[in-house]
Structure 1
Amino acid sequence: MSYTDLADEMLVDLMKSDDADAFKIIYQRYWRQLYGFVYQQLGYKEDSEEVVHDLMLSLWQNRKHSQIQHLRIYLFIGARNLTNKLIKSHINLRKYREYQLLHQVFEFKDSEDIFKANDLTNAIEKVLKKMPEKTATIFRMSKIDEIPVKKIALKMDLTDKAVEYHITKSLKMLRQHLQGFHSDN
């Protein structure tokens, strides 16, 4: 009987006893399905491959201590959790970058800058008027009204990713149009 004919439970038991061939069969059996599942969530080839690789590496490294009863369910829950963790880290990184950008845009270096604040507000409004209406609206909701992405998505009947796209697009336009603001004033 070859390994490919073995049930998942038997492969897991063999893997727990350090059988690398059993792990190889598990990998071959589930890699494509897991990759497709993760890719649906992320939409990026490299990130999807990395999630599946990390999941399989974790499976092998924790083989002695794992309490796997249903391998397929275990793998897909693990893939979902790693995918969510990656999405959160990307969102946190993007939020941090947005914070840095806005902090630079709105930072007052001395008391003279207080008088320039009105000019900056006017400059921002001009840039917002050049943006597509939906992008400007989402920027205002997110950065001025401080409404969370999920609530904006619900209110505007968009996905979270679409809202994040509009926020990123608006910040890019602001950055481009306001690049020389402090040096000009």
Structure 2
Amino acid sequence: MKSFSVRLYASYTDADLLQALRADDEGAFEEIYKRYCYRLFTVAYRKLKQREEAEELVQDLLADLWSRRASLQIQQLDQYLFSAVRYRIINFIKSRKLKSGYELYCQLHASSSTANTENFLALNDLNDALLAGVENLPEKSRQVFQLSRLEHCTVPEISVRVNLSEKTVEYHLTKALKLLRSYLRDFLVLTLSLFTFLQ
């Protein structure tokens, strides 16, 4: 009896199958499934190049056809199904692009935040090292350096303020810069060694 009903549905036109489908005929749905499933899958697979996604897309489309069978206004079954599968393919590709774009944005944002944080910390460390270096300078050299680099005084202005000749001011400034360069070089070497060790 089963084989007879299978042969019966196979002889139905698409219009007959749609009419039977609207009347909740599961046999009609099975025939639509057999008739169109592979063809729809072929279209989806050709576009997506992924078997699982193509199969899932077609399964969802046919499940939707069954669940909305009473309310769907379909004139031509084949046109409806192939249009619906193309529409779903487009939506799937859009959502995949959106997802990959969002993931890329998150990765870039995370790496940018990490880089900004690391740069900020490194700048703070360097600033702290510079201040510590200035504190370690001999008193006159420190005074001259602070007036020159922090208060932006000229050599003649510093000369008047600290009561030293301009030549002596230049000497202290040169000495301060040399000592700071050496101190910061040692700091950077130590920091780099520690960073390499922690890697």
Q: Normalization by structure 2: what TM-score? A: 0.56
State the partner residue of 1:109: 117
Distance in 2 of aligned mates of 1:22 and 1:96: 43
Which letter maps to 1:20? E
Q: Does 1:33 align with 2:39?
A: yes
5 Å-filtered alignment, 1:135-154, equals: none
- Alpha-carbon RMSD across the aligned residues, in angstroms, is 2.5
How far apart are the structure 2 equivalents of 1:46 and 1:93? 18
Within 2, Cα distance between the matches of 1:15 and 1:23? Answer: 6
Aligned with residue 14 of structure 1, among 14, 20, 33: 20
SS in 1 for 2:117: coil
- What residue in structure 1 maps to residue 84 of structure 2? 78
Q: CA shift at 1:85, angstroms?
A: 1.2
Structure 1 runs, 4 residues or longer, greater than 4 Å off: none
Task: Please report how far the alpha carbon of residue 114 of structure 1 lies from its aligned counterpart in structure 2 after TM superposition.
Answer: 8.6
Which residue of 1 is the match for residue 93 of structure 2?
Answer: 87
Relative to its length, the structure with more helix (as a share) is 2
Offset at 1:184?
7.7
Between structure 1 and structure 2, the one with the greater Rg is 2
Q: Distance in 2 between matches of 1:24 and 1:90?
A: 31
One-letter amino acid matched to 1:22: A
Q: Does 1:49 align with 2:50?
A: no
Q: Give yes or no for the alignment of 1:3 onto 2:9.
A: yes
CA drift of 1:110 comes to 7.0
Cα distance in 2 between the residues matched to 1:113 and 1:93: 33
1:50 Cα deviation after fit? 0.3
d(CA) in 1 for partners of 2:77, 2:122: 61
Please give the alpha-carbon distance, in whole angstroms, between the structure 2 residues aligned to 1:98 and 1:89.
14
Q: 5+ residue gaps in structure 2? A: 1-6, 124-194
* Cα distance in 1, alignment partners of residues 50 and 118 from structure 2: 44
Taking the aligned partners of 1:93 and 1:33, their CA distance within structure 2 comes to 28
Which residue identity does 2:9 align to in structure 1?
A: Y
Equivalence map 1:115-134=2 (5 Å): none
Question: Shift of residue 28 of structure 1?
Answer: 0.1
What do residues 91-134 of structure 1 show as CA deviations (whole Å, max 9, x unaligned)?
1111111011100121122772696xxxxxxxxxxxxxxxxxxx
TM-score, with normalisation over the residues of structure 1? 0.60
Gaps of 5+ in 1: 116-180
Instruction: Tell me the number of residue pairs that the alignment of Structure 1 and Structure 2 aligns.
Output: 120
Q: 1:99 to 1:184 in 2, by over 3 A?
A: farther
